[in-house]
Amino acid sequence: MTAAGADTRLAGKIALVAGAGTSAAGWSIGRASCVTLARRGAAVVALDAHLAAAEDAAHEVELAGGSALAVQADVADPDAMQAAVDAALRRYGRIDILQANAGIGKVGGPEEISLQDWDRIQQVNVTSLLIATRLLAPLMRAQGGGAIVTVSSIAGIRYTGYPHLAYSVSKAAVIHFARMAAQQYAADGIRVNTVIPGLIDTPRVAQNVARMFDPDDLQAAMAARDRQVPMGRMGTPWEVANAVAFLASDEASYITGTELLVDGGLTGKYA
């Protein structure tokens, strides 16, 4: 029985959030997404490379009154992902939604980034999409449809002011992967879309900013990030999660192969 006024937009759906945890204490996009999807009625498979991070996200879902399963897997490891999908199917019997949220990066331009770092970033951010889609598309097709939401970055469509080459190139590929997959799977009822977050206030960003600036200047550096944005502030992980939940839901039933910018107007600023 559903409580009066409960949000049922994702009722009955099973959502796999890959990269469900957070790099440091606080609300990441994945952690906020797990809770947001659950608040709308989905059961959540919280997948992360770190079991504690997956368990923490699953715990937050349960605190919000939802159902969750925590699984540990590296999104770039096909065998681990197969095992994770098998575990999800044993528990819930189906998977309707994939949020491909795991993402890593390293600052540097062509002459700074090592080939090893380059390869790992492409594997985690891009090859992971191939691995997950190969596993889930046949399932979704057999179920009569599904929704895949990939998570890119404004770094995938603009230069963000410092060299972040491997990350930026990978995030551009995320967008195009989703566009291509959307075409291929449209007739199967599988929608594939991308959320493009702008400057979002997550623990990882605070850590990165702290690394790049004097710790005493952290507050000033974060305020400078706020000032860059036409809306005058960074976004919250919840604002990104809301966009993911929308694209994952039947409200977006005629939307596929496109991107939703969640950037407070930043990308349009000098366009």
Angle 180-182-186 from CA coordinates, rounded to 5°: 135
Catalytic residue, candidates 92, 159, 162, 167: 167
CA–centroid distance for 208 within its chain: 18
Cα distance between residue 71 and residue 54, in whole Å: 6
Interface positions with ligand NAD (CB under 6 A): 19, 21-23, 28-30, 48-50, 53, 74-76, 101-104, 124, 151, 153, 197, 199-200, 202-205, 237
Residue number, 158 or 204, with CB nearest to ligand NAD: 204
Residue number, 55 or 74, with CB nearest to ligand NAD: 74
Q: State residue 216 phi and psi, 5-degree precision.
A: -65, -20
Write down the least CB distance from residue 7 to ligand NAD, Å. 23
Residue number, 124 or 175, with CB nearest to ligand NAD: 124
Write down the least CB distance from residue 65 to ligand NAD, Å. 23
Quote the DSSP letter at residue 75: T
Cα distance between residue 80 and residue 49, in whole Å: 10
Residue with CB nearest ligand NAD? Answer: 103
Cα distance between residue 213 and residue 35, in whole Å: 32
Residue number, 10 or 84, with CB nearest to ligand NAD: 84
Q: Are strands 68-72 and 190-197 parallel, antiparallel or unpaired?
A: unpaired
Catalytic, 167? Answer yes
Write down the least CB distance from residue 174 to ligand NAD, Å. 8
Catalytic residues, by residue number, are: 167
